[in-house]
Amino acid sequence: MKLSDVKEILDADVIVGTEKLDMEVKTAFGADLMSDVLAFAKAGSLLLTGLTNSQVIRIANVLDIAAIILVRGKKPPIETINLAKEFKIPLLTTKYILFETAGRLYAKGIVGCLEQVEDHSAHN
Amino acid sequence: MVAWNKLKITVHTTETENYLYKNSFDVEGGNFSNAGTVSTHIKSILKNIGLPNNIIRKSAIVCYESEINIVSYARKGIINLTVTTKTVEFDIIDEGPGIPNIELAMEQGYSTADRQIREMGFGAGMGLYNIKCYSDIFNLSSEVDKGTFLKIIINIT
């Protein structure tokens, strides 16, 4: 689906990236722990998170994340917004909690960027 | 395997080594607002070299976690990057408290992180473990009250 569909499904506000709403997305990853985002999120995926500091943008940039969806109605600080603009990474915010955000996207066809972790990188 | 001759990259040759790229990057301890900037820079360098995406991803993961460790725990550190036709190598040296028990530090979930580190979304005791998972060669040594040396090699082939 397009990022504009994601925006509709989540009733999200676009903070950065209104010009990129035509972008196609198929997969997503959700976590608040940045070590897990680094370990498991894949290029081209949506990143669903409740963390709003600039680490989220830098990590999204090094992993080539398609767009970031802030959940639970989080409003990012200005440094985060500026960094998202600099790296041209769309940044959206939705009032839905992480579980609802994931469920609503999944119901419309977005799947996880991986289903399960492999043994060697699994968190016990 | 990448076709290096198509990438117009100069292969530097000295008596002892061949490399495509070699540079050192300073990381300031305690500077949380800049954490990740060196890794961001290194990722764009690796992309410009034309490395395969999976190698860039692995390199970005290990470099980012290592940079966060320096910022979080050390006074200062250096990330030395060497890219050859076969490997991406990181020699990461910091001046800091060191790691008293490496075996314990390697365990998933073991952490000495403070509030500032956890607020950034790190400090859950996954950093070193993740670095090891995404490295082909991982070598960690440390001296208490002096610092820590981490050697990471990622094979390109």
Q: Which pLDDT tens digit goes with each residue over B83-110?
A: 999 999 999 999 999 999 999 999 999 9
Nearest CA in chain A to B43: A62
Contacts of residue A3, Cβ cutoff 8 Å, sequence gap at least 6: A17, A20, A21, A22, A23, A24, A25, A66, A67, A90, A92
Q: Is the pLDDT of residue A94 over 50?
A: yes
> Does residue A14 lie within any of the structural domains?
yes
How far is it, in rounded angstroms, from Cα B113 to Cα B65?
13
> How confident is the model over A39-80, as pLDDT tens digits?
999 999 999 999 999 999 999 999 999 999 999 999 999 999
> Does residue A89 lie within any of the structural domains?
yes
Q: Within 13 A of B60's CA, how many CA atoms are on the CB side? A: 30
CATH T-level topology, domain B19-155: Heat Shock Protein 90 (3.30.565)
Extents of the domains making up chain B: 19-155
Q: What is the mean pLDDT of residues B27-50?
A: 96
- At residue B157, the pLDDT reads 81
Q: What is the mean pLDDT of residues B45-72?
A: 97
- Closest approach of A57 to chain B, Cα-based (Å): 10
Q: Name the least confident of A19-33, A77-91, A94-108, B5-19.
A: B5-19
- Encode burial over B77-100: b for 16+ CB neighbours within 10 A, e otherwise: bebebbbbeebbbbbbbbbbbbbe
> Does residue A121 lie within any of the structural domains?
no
Q: Where residue A22 sits, what CATH number does that domain have?
A: 3.40.1390.20
> Does residue A124 lie within any of the structural domains?
no
> Does residue A72 lie within any of the structural domains?
yes
The parent domain of residue A106 ranges over 3-114
> Does residue A123 lie within any of the structural domains?
no
- Closest approach of B47 to chain A, Cα-based (Å): 10
Q: What is the domain count for chain A? A: 1
Average pLDDT, rounded, for chain B: 91
Nearest CA in chain B to A32: B121
- Note whether B126 contacts A32, CB cutoff 8 Å: no
In chain B, the percentage of residues whose pLDDT exceeds 90 is 87
At residue A118 the predicted structure's pLDDT band, cuts being 50, 70 and 90, is confident
In chain B, the percentage of residues whose pLDDT exceeds 70 is 89
Q: Is the pLDDT of residue B25 over 60?
A: yes
> Does residue A120 lie within any of the structural domains?
no
Between positions 49 and 78 of A, the ones with CB within 8 A of B are 51, 53-56, 58-59, 61-64
In chain A, the percentage of residues whose pLDDT exceeds 70 is 96
8 Å CB contact between A43 and B53? yes
Q: What is the mean pLDDT of residues A16-41?
A: 97
> Does residue A26 lie within any of the structural domains?
yes
Q: What is the mean pLDDT of residues B13-21?
A: 75
Residue among A39, A56, A58 minimizing CB distance to B61: A39
